[in-house]
Amino acid sequence: MQERRRRIRINASLVVSYRLLNTVFTTASRSKNISVTGICLPFPQRLEAGRCIDLEIQLLDFSDPIKVTGKVIWLKEISAAEFPFQLGIEFIAIKPAAQDKLLQHIVKEGPPGIEIIP
């Protein structure tokens, strides 16, 4: 299967709080992987592609989480009791300061010699 991602993605188990747009409930999960353009997130329910979600991602070297808005691009059903789905989420709104923190995290935690072009 050919790789279709536009950006380098690193495996990362980061705490992610999320809230579906137009709802009041916030819940948490742990990421599977992350890039400067998106994240793979185990999820407890089925969501349709195109659904928007607010995320707060806790990066390892920063005290405050970064805040982004993402859009579900794909959904995969997996065999896990608590989080039976994985979501591929594309970031559609991220402030420059948050993107800089994310870039720093990926360069630090990624493979040696990694180069990121924002």
Residue 71 near residue 41 (C-beta atoms within 8 A) = no
Residue 54 near residue 95 (C-beta atoms within 8 A) = no
* 51: nearest Cα among 82, 85, 79, 96: 85
pTM: 0.87
Least confident of 3-12, 38-47, 67-76: 3-12
DSSP β-bridge partners for residue 73: none
Residue pLDDT, tens place only, 52-89: 999 999 999 899 999 999 999 999 999 888 899 999 99
Greatest mean pLDDT range, 7-16, 20-29, 67-76, 107-116: 67-76
Residue 46 near residue 86 (C-beta atoms within 8 A) = no
**Domain ranges in the chain?**
10-107
Where residue 115 falls among pLDDT bands split at 50, 70, 90? low
Where residue 117 falls among pLDDT bands split at 50, 70, 90? low
Strand order, beta sheet including 52-57: 10-11, 33-34, 38-43, 85-94, 66-77, 52-57, 15-20, 27-30
Question: What three-state secondary structure class fits 106?
Answer: helix
What is the average pLDDT across 1-13?
67
Where residue 5 falls among pLDDT bands split at 50, 70, 90? very low
Give domain 10-107's CATH architecture. Beta Barrel (2.40)
| CA contacts within 13 A on the Cβ side of 78 | 17
